[in-house]
Amino acid sequence: MRVSEYFNINRTQAYLDFVDVPLDTDLAVFLDPGAIKSLDSSWGNELSSFLQSFFETVLKLIRKGENQRAKELLSSLNEGNEFHLGYSVGKSRGHGFGDESADSVWDALTKSKAATSGLLQDLEDTALLINGIGTDMISDAVCNILRHSLIKYTQDMCRYYGIPLTPGVASGPLWNPLKEIWENDFVHLPVTDYGKVILVPKVLVRSRLSFQYDEYYRYYLLPQMQSEHLKKQTSLVETLKNGSQRVTKKSLMEKYGKDKLAVVEQTILKPHVLDEYREAKADSPSSPLSHEQFSELEHIDKPDIDDLLAQLKVLPVGREAAEEYEDIIEKILSVVLYPSLCNPKKQHKIHEGRKRIDITYTNEAKGGFFYWLAMHYPAPQIFVECKNYGKEVANPEVDQLSGRFSPSRGKVGILICRSIENKELLYKRCVDTAQDQRGFIIALDDNDLENLLHEYIESQGSQEFPILREFWRKLVN
């Protein structure tokens, strides 16, 4: 029984912004701190700030010898059953730092040279340097530290998809970064027969953490150690028949060990290697799970593009079907433009509610067309207006969308309508808008959407979107 099934949303994972978790157990995906740090949006900055604040506070207490206070803060990380992420088989149960079974972790963290020497900087570093801490524990810790923000996200998603919210639900521990304490509150949350639920954005979850100690040891630390032994001509150096010399990774691991303790000891001697690893991970963040990966994990069908097109084609033109048209367009875009665009909001209010935008997406692209767009134009958000018109779209519709733009929100929008009789004239209007510095509008009709969908299928989900690039070229040339 998944969230979508319990609340009769009539959508599967591909059409939802959040992870459609099972309510009676966990889904084997995890919140990755590296994925959160890679976000460029203001919301992403907020999440990163929460993580940094909490872990810096804990490390500060450990270095000052205030281990009991550090343990009290960490003990609130043991509640996480409402997120339903992790390795649990059967009923969900958290694997946070505060579990009674993790007492050894307290000692490892408070006594570790990595913590006291300043080697530990971020939560994900513990996956590399602290015994007993793995993927599920870090993911649960992240969920708890970000609980406040994820509750707000859950409330937004519930309003968006029509999921009922129950008032007066105990929030669980909420991290207050200003006071550096945990607080509790009563909030609105969805509640099921299995308990309360806190939703997580699917763009943030991964099948494994980006920081892996064996990867770091084998591909970063050991090569550096090999070079040092060769330079010093130690007893581990072997001379081959052709006269070349080598030091094997196997011999190094036999001499120094291959557990996290060995990683810590060698990293203390060579801290620049850890910096290089961090930089490499920051420069190449892991990709969100694809629709195909979610389909395999959740044992569900892939999104049916042909069915979406069929729904669009039979939908009647006119104001009476305007809401249905907007719903189909949002489904199409949420499938095709994921993971570049996420966190959709319908009828998003701006200017104190005086203006509304049909659909607003957050641009979190890490490659492809929308990433390029954000590098060259103000595009933190992408605005979509849907017009289920049987008439020619003219200046009022173009002006309406451009009136939603601002330097902070973004100045890129997509105007979607059923048909465009005179595309050349409409694009002249869009070019005029761009040249007047009122923003950039890509206009699409049903035929353009169909071509976009076929292009997406043929490219196996590529986010390059040649069709959109061509439309953009017309705007700016």
> Does position 355 have pLDDT exceeding 60, yes or no?
no
- Report the pLDDT averaged over residues 83-103: 62
d(CA 265, CA 251) in angstroms, rounded, equals: 17
CATH node for 304-476: 3.40.91.30
CB of 230 closer than 8 Å to CB of 247: yes
Range with lowest mean pLDDT among 127-136, 220-229, 322-331, 441-450: 127-136
d(CA 85, CA 225) in angstroms, rounded, equals: 37
Strands (E), 285-428: 341-350, 355-363, 381-387, 412-417
Percentage of the chain beyond pLDDT 90 is 61
Determine if the peptide bond prior to 167 is cis (ω within 30°): no
- Looking at residue 102, its pLDDT comes to 43
More confident residue, 71 or 184: 184
More confident residue, 436 or 398: 436
**Beta-bridge mates of residue 175:** 182
3-state secondary structure of 320: helix
- Looking at residue 411, its pLDDT comes to 92
CA angle 69, 142, 303 (to 5 degrees): 170
Query: DSSP secondary-structure letter at 302?
Result: P
Q: Are strands 174-176 and 166-170 parallel, antiparallel or unpaired?
A: unpaired
Residue appearing with tokens 């206070």:
69
Quick one: which of 443, 446, 404 has its CA closest to 427? 443
| Per-chain mean pLDDT for the chain | 88
- Looking at residue 394, its pLDDT comes to 67
What DSSP string runs through 254-295?
Answer: HHH-SSHHHHHHHHHH-HHHHHHHHHHHHHSPPPPPPHHHHH
b/e string for 326-362 if b means 16 or more Cβ within 10 A?
Answer: bbbbbbbbbbbbbbbbbbbbbebebeeeeeebbbbbb
> Does position 29 have pLDDT exceeding 80, yes or no?
yes
CA angle 80, 86, 88 (to 5 degrees): 90
- Looking at residue 352, its pLDDT comes to 42
Quick one: which of 56, 7, 10, 38 has its CA closest to 366? 38
Residue spans of the domains in the chain: they are 3-206, 213-283, 304-476
- Looking at residue 73, its pLDDT comes to 87
- What does the block give as tokens for 271? 């801290």
> Does position 111 have pLDDT exceeding 80, yes or no?
no
- Looking at residue 151, its pLDDT comes to 97
pTM score: 0.89
**Cβ atoms < 10 Å from Cβ of 147:** 25
